[in-house]
Amino acid sequence: MHRRLWLIPAFAGLLAASACSKKADTAADTAATTTAAPAVQVTSVDLGPAVGADNHVTGSTDTFQPNQTVYAAVSTDGTSPNATLTARWTYQDGQVVDSSARSIAPTGPAVTEFHVSKPSGWPKGDYKVEVMLNGASVQTKSFKVK
Amino acid sequence: MGLLDKILGNDEPTKKADFSDVQSGSSSTAPAPAQTSSMGANSGRTYTVVEGDSLSKIAKHQYGDANKWHAIYEANRDKIKNPDLIHPGQVFTIPDVS
């Protein structure tokens, strides 16, 4: 018993350290909620056969010709030191046509374009592009190839 | 209906669409995240895949070590869906490896 007396102050010390750590966490949480810039979010996804210098689509449409390149312009707002946008393109039978990701560090409104083309021509039918932000699905757009 | 399809010759399985030649890309008006680690940092080098290439073959050529193909794979995850399947014409970033 006598030998184990040293455990008491050690245990008390651990409790105190834990309490301090909890206080620090709480302070950090408060600071984060009061000073953090708005997190990045996807505001719109537009499809078209081309994009301009600002990455916005020109001639927004949801119907494409088999020989056209399909552009998806993903508009975002907010800031992030590292956010990942993913565009996952699928055909009507569920086949994944393409999946591309791009890491961005936006400091305000931004437009990220993803595009797919098929030199031998797109099979006619229905397609979808699912846009994900940091792995979470945020928007899905459907389009047709006629 | 299955019998009718057989009689009419309509029971052949539908041919799956082939998307193996799909090309993709992206660009953004937002800046790219800053590199925080020297491991896998972008050296600025790129390599264009040619017929017969594999990731290990490219690693052997670039680093002298085929086992370092992982570094190329990790640096180009947005372009490589399957590390066993790369296509001529793809442009890969070649990261610095220690």
CB pair distance less than 8 Å for B31 and A95: no
Q: Closest CB to B29: pick one of A100, A101, A110.
A: A110
Which two three-digit tokens encode residue A116?
């797919």
Q: What is the pLDDT of residues A29-47, one digit of tens each?
A: 444 444 555 799 999 999 9
Looking at residue A138, its pLDDT comes to 96
Query: pLDDT by residue (tens digit) across A58-85?
Result: 999 999 999 999 999 999 999 999 898 9
pLDDT in tens, B30-51: 998 876 544 445 555 777 787 7
Distance from CA of B18 to the nearest CA of A (A): 8
Check CB contact of A88 with chain B, cutoff 8 Å: no
ipTM given for this complex: 0.74
Q: Could you give the CA distance from residue B21 to residue B65 in angstroms, rounded to a whole number? A: 29
| Neighbouring C-beta atoms of residue B87, cutoff 10 Å | 14
Q: Which of A55, A98, A125 sits opposite B28 (nearest CB)?
A: A55
In this complex, do B21 and A118 lie within 8 Å of one another by their Cβ atoms?
A: yes
Dig out the tokens for B23 from the structure.
């090309």
Distances (CA, A) of A134 to A42, A102, A105, B10, B43: 11, 10, 12, 45, 25
Closest CA to A57 of A115, A144, A101: A115
Name the H helices within chain A. 7-35
Instruction: Check if the beta carbon of residue A109 is closer than 8 Å to that of residue A55.
Output: no
The b/e string for A50-72 (b: 16+ C-beta within 10 A; e otherwise) is: ebeeebbbeeeeeebeeebbbbb
What confidence score (pLDDT) does residue A107 get? 93
Average pLDDT over residues B2-29: 71
Q: What is the pLDDT of residue B7?
A: 53
Measure CB to CB from residue B17 to each of A95, A112, A114 and give the nearest one: A95
Tokens representing B78 are: 């947005």
Model pTM?
0.60
